[in-house]
Amino acid sequence: MSTERDGKDADLTPRFDLHMTACLKEADPVKCIAVGVSGGSDSMALVLLLTGWCRSRNIRLVALTVDHGLRGEAATEALQVAEWLGAHGVEHHILVWKGPHPSTGIQKEARAARYHLMLSKCQEIGAGVLALGHQLEDHLETLLMRLSKGSGLDGLPGMAPVSTRQGIRLVRPLLDFRRQALRDYLIAAGQDWIEDPSNESEHYTRTHLGKVLTQVAALPGADLDSMALAARRLQRANLAVEQAVDTAFADYVTKGRFGSLDLSAAFLGALPDEVAIRLLTRVFAAVRGRDARPRLTAVERLYERFRTAQGPVAGTLSGCRFHPRSRGWRVCREAGRSGLPVVPLTGRAHYLWDDRFLVRDHAPDDIAPDGLPLEIRRIGHEGRLFLKNQDMGGPEMEAPAMIIENLPAIWCGDRLVCAPLISGVSYLPSVGQGRFEMLFNQ
């Protein structure tokens, strides 16, 4: 990313167009983009810049504001955002976080709730992209925070301009823009914004990080541009390591049909420690879902245990089980692990279950046979016994119970309808054979 100074030029449109286009250069054609808008200067600038960008490309733009209910003014502020965006002709939805609201770790829980509400809305409206208003100071504050907490190289580059979460592409096209430049843009456009008093509260880590960033940028020979340069160089180094991990994954990991992976023990003596540790993290994410991330210290301990053992030994990492085999490990979900989702069928053709399995519905309009709703959930112990009693047999049912029980199936109440990964048979007459298809999506 370029870090040229913004100066007094309030017309950010040309630079924004370049950054937004770069964020989507490897994406499929986009028909709908959602944008998170809190009403602060960063998100207000983003939604105005996106308005012109989307209109020139005939892309639907949908703004999402989360009313977190943590301050009395939150609901009024959400309505103010709706009024502002209505004047600009931008479609807008207010999403309400109904809690429960925690007494500690409020910012962390509120952030998780915001993402959950916005990503769920993206899936509902068919928006494959969610744009977020993080800018240069946010980017550098994240770098400082992760450095202070002992982050590995993969965390130090700060915020990624493009990432994926719950199947939605998250883009941050403002990471090269200073906050003041965005405010100058809004002033020139005659657009007001909302000041959040929590940004100045001494109770929150971000407030302290902003002050530290100011102090570091004031050191001799330092400024925001030089710090952004360091972040770009870290990104470059991190990309090189990630490419090495891609190669290692192809060389030492074999994917199974049922959400498990086989990991060769040969990686232990063949890879540098950093690449090997990230390979373990990648294996974990493939089995547990991309959004699940174990602590780096836990992965390092597991790696050290594997490295110093005489041959493969068993290991568990945050609900992911490493079963020793003659030349490595079979890695799968831990038996009886909670947290596997229940996903109602809502008339869509595609679902991503547990961030790992793609579920296709070839008759999405027929979602309520016999007037009863269908849903996707794990086969579980009862489902496995049912399939076994149906005399399924074959190589599929010979897989370990913990693997079978953590696979997705279609259920109607307490009745298993079908388990396409195990059998093509439908056990509910009103659900046609072959209607559902499932695929391990790693």
Separation between Cα atoms, residue 197 and residue 32, nearest integer Å: 32
The mean pLDDT value for 190-216 works out to 73
Q: What is the pLDDT of residue 227?
A: 86
CA distance 345 to 115: 22
E strands along 37-119, which residues? 60-67, 91-96
Q: Over the chain, what is the mean pLDDT? A: 86
Q: Which residue has the higher pLDDT, 346 or 45?
A: 45
Q: How far apart are CA 224 and CA 214, in angstroms?
A: 9
Domain with CATH 3.40.50.620 in the chain: 13-218
Range ranked top by mean pLDDT from 117-131, 143-157, 359-373:
117-131
pLDDT (0 to 100) of residue 156: 74
pLDDT at 61: 97
- Measured CA to CA, the distance from residue 278 to residue 264 in angstroms comes to 15
What does the alpha-carbon distance between residue 88 and residue 61 come to, in Å, rounded to a whole number?
A: 12
pLDDT of residue 125: 94
User: Which percentage of the chain shows pLDDT scores above 90?
Assistant: 46
Q: How confident is the model at residue 393 (pLDDT cuts 50, 70, 90)?
A: low
Is residue 184 within 8 Å of residue 10, measured between CB atoms? yes
Q: Which residues are annotated as a binding site?
A: 38-43
Residues 418-435 pLDDT 10s:
998 888 788 887 788 889
Q: What share of the chain is helix, strand, coil (3-state, %, to 5)?
A: 40, 20, 40
Task: Using the CB atoms, write b or e for 371-407: b if 16+ within 10 Å.
Answer: eeebbbbbbbeebbebbeeeeeeeebbebeebbbbbb
Residues annotated as binding site for ATP? 38-43
Do 65 and 93 contact (CB within 8 A), yes or no?
yes
How far apart, in whole angstroms, are the C-alpha atoms of residue 366 and residue 410? 14
pLDDT of 122 over the 70 cut: yes
DSSP state of 102: P
**H-only helix segments in 88-135:** 106-125
| End-to-end Cα separation, the chain, in angstroms | 30
pLDDT reported for residue 70:
74
Extract the tokens encoding 119: 């990503």
28 exposed, middle or buried (CB, 10 Å; 0-12, 13-18, 19+)?
exposed
Is 63 within 8 Å of 90 (Cβ atoms)? yes
For residue 228, the one-letter residue type is A
Q: Cα torsion at 349, 355, 356, 362 (round to 10°)?
A: -10
Nearest CA-CA partner of 281 in 309, 253, 308, 257: 253
What dotted CATH number matches 13-218? 3.40.50.620
pLDDT digits (tens, 9 = 90+) for 252-263: 999 887 888 999
Nearest to 48 by CA among 187, 168, 159: 187
